[in-house]
Structures are given as structure tokens and as C-alpha cells.
Chain A
Amino acid sequence: DAGVIQSPRHEVTEMGQEVTLRCKPISGHNSLFWYRQTMMRGLELLIYFNNNVPIDDSGMPEDRFSAKMPNASFSTLKIQPSEPRDSAVYFCASSLTDGYTFGSGTRLTVV
């Protein structure tokens, strides 16, 4: 099993541009989570899906952020327009029962 796969590993973009982060969960896992990690705020849960349905998006910081899960093997997190304060490492994780498996993250830098 290749684990949770995220792409890209690194993204540098200019303020105002649209950014799309991608995640492929582990096959058979039915829950998917998007986290953001910064030095100031630590790990923040942005949104999570169960069986491809968004269950809780209360952590999404504002309307510039959106997430989709069109099928069980793919999810995207989109930021439009991006701002410098969105710079962080974004992690995707998937789970079936107890405990999560995390991807390696996408380091986003907005300049």
C-alpha cells in the first residue's frame, strides 16, 4: 500500500492566485481529513469527509477555502484567491476505524 498520497509536495504561488491541493486516500478507508499546520496555531482540522460526504467544515477559515471529494479515491482542497497568511503545511489523512494515516503534506508558500 502506497499510503496517503498528496500532491504537490511544495507549492509556491503569488498572492491572488488559485491553489489546488490533491489527496489520494488509502483504498478502503472511508473517512478523509484535511489539516493545516503552522508554527503559530499548530494542527488545525479544516474539514472531514465520511463516505465522500462533507461532515464537518467548521474549521475552514473562510469562503476562500473549499474542498471536494468526488469519489472515494480523490479529494481536493482549493484556495481562491490565496493570501500570504495561507502559507502553511497542509496534510491529508484517511482512516477506516481507529487512528489516521497521514500523507507527507503539501508545503504552501504564498508570496
Chain B
Amino acid sequence: GNSVTQMEGPVTLSEEAFLTINCTYTATGYPSLFWYVQYPGEGLQLLLKATKADDKGSNKGFEATYRKETTSFHLEKGSVQVSDSAVYFCALSDQDTDKLIFGTGTRLQVFP
């Protein structure tokens, strides 16, 4: 079945460091891929998405490219800020059911 695997956290970085959070997936067909962010005490918010191979989603300085050959959708940001501290979830859409399949989440902690 469809699944998403994320790197375990927490990821601890200093402000202005480069961020990569790895995400790989297993799916039949051509799912859409998503990154969601959850700030403390809040619900998940859509950060970015890509709907087909080689698409790049971007938002707030974050980017992720849909790589079908490596079944990956890694999240990157060139210079993180303390305000980026949150939990990041990778997800794919199940084309048969419209359900989103989420990874386990990766906690990012950014220190000044």
C-alpha cells in the first residue's frame, strides 16, 4: 500500500543554517505530494505541494521537488529562522480514496 517515510527528528539547527528534511514515498500511480507544518498548539497547515514529477513546490523560502526516479520529496530551506521551529509532515494523496497518507513528522528546532 501507499506509505510515506520521513527522517526521524528532532533536527536541531542554528539560525541561518541550511535545512534538509528527507521524505520518500511508496505509491502506485502518480500521487500528489505535500509538506504540512504544525506550529506548537496549532493544527497542520499546508506549506507546499507538487502534483506531478519534476514539479517544484515552494513557499516561505521552503522548496521541495517531486522526484519520481528516487520516489522522494525532500524539504529544503537555505537559511532557517527561529520562527521555523515546528513539526513538518510529508504526505501523499491516495488517488483511489482522496485520503492523505502522512509521515510520522519531523520536529525542527532552530536556536539563535
Contacts and interface: CB of A to CB of B under 8 A. Distances in A.
Interface stretch (B10-18, B40-48, B75-83): B40-48
B45 to A, nearest CB: 7
Contact of A100 (B42, B46, B51): B46
A75 interface: no
Contact of B32 (A4, A33, A98, A105): A98
Contact of A99 (B34, B43, B102): B34
Interface of A: 4, 31, 33, 42-43, 45, 48, 50, 55-56, 91, 93, 95, 98-105
A105 B46 CA distance: 15
Interface in B83-112: 89, 93, 97-100, 102, 104-105
A75 to B, nearest CB: 15
Contacts of A103: 43
B98 A105 contact: no
A33 B98 CA distance: 11
Given A43-B105, A102-B44, A48 B99 contact: yes
Interface residues of B, number: 19
What is the interface of chain A mostly: helix, strand, loop, or mixed?
strand
Contacts of A42: 102, 104-105
A42 B36 CA distance: 14
A46 B34 CA distance: 20
A48 B105 CA distance: 21
B98 A99 contact: no
B74 interface: no
Closest 5 CB pairs of A and B: A102-B43, A102-B44, A104-B43, A42-B104, A43-B102
Contacts of A91: 43-44
A99 B49 contact: yes
A48 B101 CA distance: 13
B59 to A, nearest CB: 12
Nearest to B42: A104
Contacts of B46: 99-101
Most buried by B among A31, A33, A102: A102
